[in-house]
Structure 1
Amino acid sequence: MHPHEVALVTGGGKGIGKEIAGRLAAHGLTVYRGARNPEQGGAAGPNIRPVRLDVTDEASVAAAVEAIEAETGRLDVLVNNAGITSEWGLRTTDFTAAHLREVYEVNVFGVVTMISACLPLLRRSPNPRVVNLSSGLASLTLLSDPEISLPTEGFLAYSSSKAALNALTLLYAETLRADGIKVNAVSPGMVPTDQNAGAPFPRGHRTVAEGAAVPVLLATVPADGPSGVFRGPDSLEDVIPW
């Protein structure tokens, strides 16, 4: 579907990130599967190239981007999938700034580091796309709706960091529109992954394949596709309020 295009997926060694990387490779893209341990994702496959990548380490990010530039000279898709949450069981009032700082390093500052590093390569693409993995827990509209029962305890760091990511998405989308770079946010829904393994609530029944579906759709939109939207978890028609 997209021959000769190049994608980079952060947090690609397991879970939803690994699934996204595999699906993009199946579409014909050359996919750099970024992970702190590049061997984590197992067998790479013909279109997948494991690359060491820690989004909190600028030297690691620079080395990965330099490797992509040397091998392909361009980047068509950046999927900012890497994300963490704080330890489960904390009440909102038990969170400290240190808890938030740790989560923001990956979920917010890591995304800024990735986009900044990848912009020169994205600008060489005729159809550059950036996909940010967000969450329904980032929606201020949903969080403030008394009719909707969203879990809030234990989510101060995660929810607020993803809300910040949504703001980044909108600001980057507007700023980069002139460059033709589309920047979108997506919620994969509740998928049981390592990230929520200790969650004191139902972890969801969605498979990683279901969670990866809309991120892959946004990663493969045509040049006239949307930018600055928040979609998921089941289809591109599922509009999530900011």
Structure 2
Amino acid sequence: MSSYRAMLCVVAALVLSCTSTSAFVAPTAARAATAVNQRSSAVSRSAVNSRQTQRRTSALCMEGQAAYLDDPMLVPLEDDDYVAFGLACCFVMNDNLKLDEYYVYEPLTAATLETIASSQSLETSYKRVTAFHAKDIFEGPPARPTGIQVDKLKILDGDVTAHICENPVERTLAAARTYKRRVEAQMCGYGDLLEGFNFSTERKRILNHKFEPSFDDNVKQDKSIDVYGREEEEAKQIADLENM
């Protein structure tokens, strides 16, 4: 009888052990499955967000490329693009602090050419202007030029000797692009010589002069921005002191 009870106790213990193990394993497996599902959902959301970001980026790139192609100021120059050059009368200061005339070949922007060619009341330092196709004035292709064919600018000389301006390639590229937006400013024919401007050197362009403000200049500037009437007030105070 005692052995029978012992067997029952062993069986009961085994049943309880299996039940508790199952009770422990089941929640653990459920939690593991839930974690896997959550990770899968997170990966799916990340993939969706990544695809959406890629689509938005692609759309922005396409918009930027379209804007680039539509903006004439950004696209490279072509062979037949319009380029205008002018002969400007400038000055340089010599070692004796005297001014010498110094003529310069300069590229003209659309605004400059249109202004000096259409307004005789406006004074300008330009004496003559001519125009070229881009392929005829640049050295190398206009999209990637390496220099300016200065010899072709001698048509502007007349009875003077001129020099090419500083940074001619960069300045010419920038100036030529302005005519892409204002075609109506191409007021000089290719190879023609445009003259008859209101030429004046009263306001001299001194190329090698560096302006350094003096004490008097600073005083003048201080007075020019005096919006509170301090000058009159100070003069009154000085007058009062003198009368004491």
TM-score interval (norm. to shorter): under 0.3
Normalising to structure 2: TM-score of the pair? 0.21
Normalising to structure 1: TM-score of the pair? 0.21
Which structure shows the higher helix fraction? 2
Comparing both chains, which one has the higher relative contact order based on Cα–Cα distances under 8 Å and sequence gaps of 6 or more?
2
Q: Which has the larger radius of gyration?
A: 2
